[in-house]
Amino acid sequence: MKISVNGAAGRMGRQLLRAVCEHNDADLGGAADAPGAASIGLDASVLSGEGEPGVHITDSAKELVNSCDVVIDFTAPSVSLALLDVLKGSGKSVVIGTTGFTAEQQQQLQAHAKHTPIVFAPNYSVGVTVTLALLAQAAKAFADDYDIEVIEAHHRHKVDAPSGTAVKMGEVLADTLGRDLKECAVYGREGITGERDRKTIGFETIRAGDIIGEHTVLFAGNGERIEITHRATDRMTFARGALKAALWLGNQPAGLYDMRDVLGLEK
């Protein structure tokens, strides 16, 4: 299967290029970066450090789409949506790992899924996907008797907070408990906050150094505390998961999927 990478010169883009090059069932079809970027015109093998030369970085989304069966896109919300405009009617698929979409942008993404096969997930780690399933089980068992806090940490360059993975964890917890995350989420605390409302879900964000990604959900009751934690130590974990999603997506009809679909897990 031919896979193209959008945002090829980014931290994740370079890992995605490596993941494609190391997989026997995938070939690099194309690679793109933002117009004016220093990487334009470079051979993709220069960025990945692997693979055969011959694929040059382009700034054309149309060229990128025409060169593959599936595009993997880890960029920015506006860039991902512009790519979806190009994908419309092409018969091609896309795996989106971009985070930071507004509610309106998510609606646009859902509209595109009516005619384009899309896997959209805030995190492509198999471990995180399994963690989400564990969180649903835990929330169901603990119900409203335990306070819930979501703590996440990432590198200093991450531009959105809380992380998309943390938000997804909150959504899973709220859905399981019959709550509306928009109503029960508390993002950080300062000053005289008053006693904690047990039905809130707290979020704490850390941005420091080169932390790749850490997420902990804390369930605290009277007399005990349970923590479910996922720590990523290598971005290739996410890249290999995204490639797994791309290889799966190539045989799917138009629709909006996530990693639970890719792994065959119950929702």
Radius of gyration of the CA atoms of the chain, in A: 19
What does the pLDDT read at residue 165? 93
Give the C-alpha separation, 73 to 102, whole Å: 17
pLDDT tens digits for range 187-242: 999 999 999 999 999 999 999 999 999 999 999 999 999 999 999 999 899 999 99
pLDDT tens digits for range 230-262: 999 998 999 999 999 999 998 899 999 999 999
Residue 245 corresponds to which tokens in the numbers above? Answer: 């999603």
For residue 56, give the DSSP letter: B
The model carries a pTM of 0.82
Is pLDDT of 266 > 80?
no
Straight-line distance from the first to the last Cα atom of the chain, in angstroms, rounded to the nearest whole number:
28
Angle (CA) 32 97 262, round 5°: 115
Give the C-alpha separation, 5 to 13, whole Å: 7
Domain-wise residue ranges, the chain: 2-120+235-263, 126-232
Which pLDDT band holds residue 267 (cuts at 50, 70, 90)? low
Q: Is 182 a catalytic residue?
A: no
pLDDT tens digits for range 123-162: 899 999 999 999 999 999 999 999 999 999 999 999 999 9
Class of the CATH domain delimited by 2-120+235-263: alpha beta
* Residues 189/139, Cβ–Cβ less than 8 Å: no
* Residues 152/205, Cβ–Cβ less than 8 Å: yes
Give the C-alpha separation, 121 to 133, whole Å: 14
- How many Cβ atoms are within 10 Å of 233's Cβ, its own excluded? 10
Q: Give the CA distances from residue 62 to residues 1, 36, 65, 90, in Å, rounded to whole numbers and listed in that order.
A: 18, 16, 5, 10
Give the C-alpha separation, 47 to 53, whole Å: 11
For residue 218, give the DSSP letter: E
Topology of domain 126-232, CATH: Dihydrodipicolinate Reductase; domain 2 (3.30.360)
* Residues 80/104, Cβ–Cβ less than 8 Å: no
Catalytic one among 2, 56, 115, 158?
Answer: 158
What does the pLDDT read at residue 54? 87
* Residues 82/60, Cβ–Cβ less than 8 Å: no
Q: Is 154 a catalytic residue?
A: yes
Catalytic one among 92, 154, 215, 244?
Answer: 154
